[in-house]
Each structure stands twice: as structure tokens, then as C-alpha cells.
Amino acid sequence: MHLPLEVADWRAHSRRMNLLADIARRHEAIRRAITPLPGSRPRDHFKPINIPGDCDGLTLLAALGRMVWNVSAAEWQAEFARGRITSLEQRPVAATQIVRAGQRYQHLFPNVTEPEVNGAVEILHEDEALIVVNKPAPLPMHAGGRFYLNTLQHILNAAYHPQQTYPVHRLDAHTTGLVLVARTRFFAGRLQSQFAQRQVEKTYLVRVPGQVPADDFYCDAPISAGTGEQCSRTVDLENGLEARTEFRVLRRHADSVNLLEARPLTGRTNQIRVHLWYLGFPVCGDTVYLPGRQLGRTPSPTVGAPPLCLHAARVKFLHPLSLKPIEFNAPLPVWAK
């Protein structure tokens, strides 16, 4: 039985108005969560230390040296002397403590204040299964490094409290655009399986300098499985993982800067940036993948710095509840307009 057109239109309008009201309430909750930024208040932070199997029987000092390769033994000794390597009960432990696989310790970082981020997260859509976010930059997705609370995950959990949210893929801290977030573990699994099986169609906008020779081109250079210099990924022609990105020129500007559309057909870390860097067209604003195939340092996110001109603009997938195709588009950043 079909509803009269007027009734169907009224119901669609009502659903739309309810969605807009729900999103407005979420934006108010986000505003409260980031005013002030949660990581701006000094606090003691305990970072977990989980002993892996290959460290069984070592001293805790030796285990830490194996687990965290970029911190010297002298630096770890100083942390032990300050009492900052502790048990789960927050009691200091000795560097000579013999550890067993599976044991857990903590590293104390006292009086921590996190770097500032852009917390203005925009909710584009929500329903009982799915949240679609337009992520600003700089904003890390998850806790790590110097960031524990100033993250997308923490902001969303505050806005949706008491519900836990589940981002099902990731963008770099400096990349803007669409992020899919599930509202339960079950729906997260349905979405993550689509990403794993390459069923999600992702389209990015990217700005690059140089004389791009063709309007349509691609790169299928394999990308390293692990991190290398400055924690970056690079092209590894012998042992790298399969990767392919297709590109299309959208606009050519007189100053030899081009606006491209990028479609990653695989999901390697930093894939678009690495492929363009390898082809000789590093992304504008990228401080890691530099011209001449040089590598720079990964900076901490800095509000007000020149943007990384990479934006997750469109995504198409099967809705985790209805299993029907659905597509979302993100608002354009200033540099792409």
C-alpha cells in the first residue's frame, strides 16, 4: 500500500527536521566538550606498557629498550630514577625488575598539557547505526604521542555520552574530510569488513604543484609495510604492499598548482601522499613528503599552520543497517573552492 504523495512528503520533511534538530544538539554538545579543549587542563597521564612475548625474561629496562627503539637506555634510566615507571597500582618499579610476557606497567607523564587542536567537529549525518563526520585539522583521530584527550574519539565520546562511538577508518591529523563512525561494535564490524574487502569508494581532493602531464593518470607503486625514516611510509618496489591510486586533474591554475581528484583503490597508510610524492608532485602543505623525494619531520598539529591540501571529499558504501548503497559528500575546504 502506497501513501498519498502529500503524506509521504510530509513524513520525509518531518524526518529531515528531526535529523537537523538532533545534529544541532550534537553540535552544542561538541561545543561544550571543546570549551575549553579537554587536553588544555594539566593532568597526570599514565601511558600503558604491555610486555610482549619476545621480552619475556628480560629486565624491564631491556624490554623498554626493545619496545621503544627511539628512546635511549640513559633516558629510560632517568625515568626510573624519577619514579615514573610504575606498576598498575602506581608504585615505582626498578629497572632491574624481571618481566614476563603479558605483564602490564605504566609510564607516568606528570602535569601534561596537550597541544592545541581544531576541535570544531561537524556532524553531517546520524542515525541509529551511523554517524558521518566532517573532521577538521589539525585533529588526531585517536590517543597517541602527546595527545590523549584532544582527539576526535574523545570529543565524539563526550558528545554522545554515555554511548561509545567507533570510528571505522582513519585520517591523518592534518587531513580533513569524511570519517565514518559506527554507533555499536556490530555496525563497526559491518563497515570495517567493507573497507577490508575494498567495497568502499573513496574520493579525495588534493592540491599539488608542478606540470602534471596528463589529465588522467595512476600510480601502482607498492608501499612499505612498516615505517621508515621519520616514521614515514615509502615506495618499496621489492617488498612493498600492493597499492594503486587513480588521479584526475580537475583544475590547472596559472601558477602551476593543480587541483586533483584522487581515488585510492587500496588502503595503505599515507597512500595518496606517498604516490604523489613518488611521481614528483608532493601535496601542497605536506611537511613530511617533500619535493625531490626528500623526507621531512612529522610535526605536532599546530592550529593556524598552512593546511595539508588533502581532503576526504566523498564516500560511497553500503549502509550498515539497510545494506543499501549510500553516498556522502563533505563541504569543500577553502583551498579547493
Predicted TM-score (pTM) of this structure: 0.86
DSSP state of 291: G
Burial 13-32 (b: 16+ CB within 10 A, else e): eeeeeeeeeebeebeebbee
C-alpha pair distances (Å), 15 with each of 10, 21, 56, 133, 280: 9, 10, 57, 19, 48
User: How far does CA 22 lie from the centroid of its chain?
Assistant: 25
The CATH label, of 1.10.10, 3.40.1350, 1.20.81, 3.30.70, for the domain at 5-39+115-196 is 3.30.70
Distance CA 48, CA 64 (A): 12
User: Which residue do the cell numbers 558528545 mark?
Assistant: 159
Long-range contacts of 79-85 (CB under 8 A, 24+ apart): 79/107, 83/108, 84/108, 84/109, 84/110, 85/49, 85/60
Q: Closest Cα partner for 245 from 227, 261, 233, 225?
A: 261
Q: Phi/psi at 208 (nearest 5 deg)?
A: -135, 150
Predicted confidence at residue 64, as pLDDT, reads 97
Annotation marks residue 172 as catalytic: yes
Residue range(s) of every CATH 3.10.290.10 domain in the chain: 43-112
Site of grid cell 554522545: 160
Topology given in CATH for the domain delimited by 43-112: 3.10.290
pLDDT of residue 144: 85
pLDDT one digit per residue (tens) for the chain, 337 residues:
565 656 567 777 777 788 889 999 999 999 999 999 999 999 998 999 999 999 999 999 999 999 998 899 999 999 999 999 999 999 999 999 999 999 999 999 999 999 999 999 999 999 999 999 999 999 999 998 889 899 999 999 999 999 999 999 999 999 999 999 999 999 999 999 999 999 999 999 999 999 998 999 999 999 999 776 656 899 999 999 999 999 999 999 988 899 999 999 999 999 999 999 999 999 999 999 999 999 987 767 688 889 999 999 999 999 999 999 999 999 999 999 8
The H or E element spanning position 280 is: none
Q: Which residues of the chain are in CATH 3.30.2350.10 domains?
A: 201-336
Task: List beta partners, residue 206.
Answer: 260, 310
- Residue 6: partners with Cβ closer than 8 Å, 6 or more residues away: none
For residues 159 and 181, give the distance between their C-alpha atoms in angstroms, rounded to a whole number.
13
In CATH, 201-336 is 3.30.2350.10: yes
Catalytic residue among 54, 172, 215, 286: 172
Domain with CATH 3.30.70 in the chain: 5-39+115-196
**Three-state SS at 157:** helix
Would you say how long the chain is, in residues? Answer: 337
Q: What is the structure's pLDDT at 7?
A: 59
